[in-house]
Amino acid sequence: MDGNQRVAVVSGAARGIGAAIAKRLSSDGLGVAVLDLDESACAETVDSIREAGGRALAVGADVSDEAGVEAAIARIVDELGAPTVVVNNAGITRDNLLFKMSVDDWDAVMSVHLRGAFLLSRAAQKYMVEQKWGRIVNLSSTSALGNRGQANYSAAKAGMQGLTKTLAVELGPFGVTANAIAPGFIVTEMTAATAERIGVSFEDFKASVAAETPVRRIGVPEDIAHTASFLVSEGAGFVSGQVIYVAGGPKG
């Protein structure tokens, strides 16, 4: 199938890394379903894609809700086409040290990251299997290696890697690859919130991270979008079950 006919679903695509990936996949010739919890929040990403000549659809859905995900995929099939690319980017943080972390904070992070990736991948895989071609890209994190104050987030992001490898094994025979991207420090609203949580200015926070990064700079959403573009491409068909750390230096 020609790339121009393919449809991608990118979750958490209203802003940040998800928005950058959605725009990049559109520039690569794919139709893009811009999925986020609040459909109206997707307008800026969708407008940007359409203004550049691409096809995009704003879709509001809670990725942790089974019925909501099934309904979202059905709508995407009807209005944009059958999705053969899924980027599971939706995520939240509820950071705290273990002894302060509530069960609700644990469950919320697990639900959005892991349950969400499972539900969206499961709902879309049948279209990939039917077409004997598909790409699943899951967003992990360097936090999967362990990070103080993020027992829930670290566990979820490590879980994304296990999910990725299993999807690669199960779906590989049907022409479907599954890979994970594990970003390091990327400038987003989420990392700005982290700086606020630990009580330092975002500028100081970025400077300190850059000084400790081998390439001596911090990451931007487009760095992740470039990697996603490769993993979704035709040329990446022999790359599956991998975790790529995009962190300006060696990780993992």
Longest dimension (CA), the chain: 52
Distances (CA, A) of 155 to 87, 111, 174, 239: 19, 12, 29, 25
Beta bridge partners of 245: 182
> Residue 26 is inside which H or E element, if any?
helix 16-27
The two tokens of residue 3 are 């790339």
Neighbouring CB atoms inside 10 A of 124's CB total 28
Is-catalytic flag, 245?
Answer: no
For 80, which DSSP code? Answer: T
Alpha carbons 136 and 240: distance in angstroms, whole number? 9
Neighbouring CB atoms inside 10 A of 78's CB total 10
Are the CB atoms for 92 and 16 separated by under 8 Å?
no
∠ CA 75-79-82, nearest 5°, is 75
Which of these is catalytic: 118, 127, 133, 153?
A: 153
Are the CB atoms for 221 and 187 separated by under 8 Å?
yes
Distance of CA 43 to the CA centre of its chain: 18
Distances (CA, A) of 52 to 48, 151, 203, 232: 6, 41, 32, 20
**Catalytic machinery residues:** 153
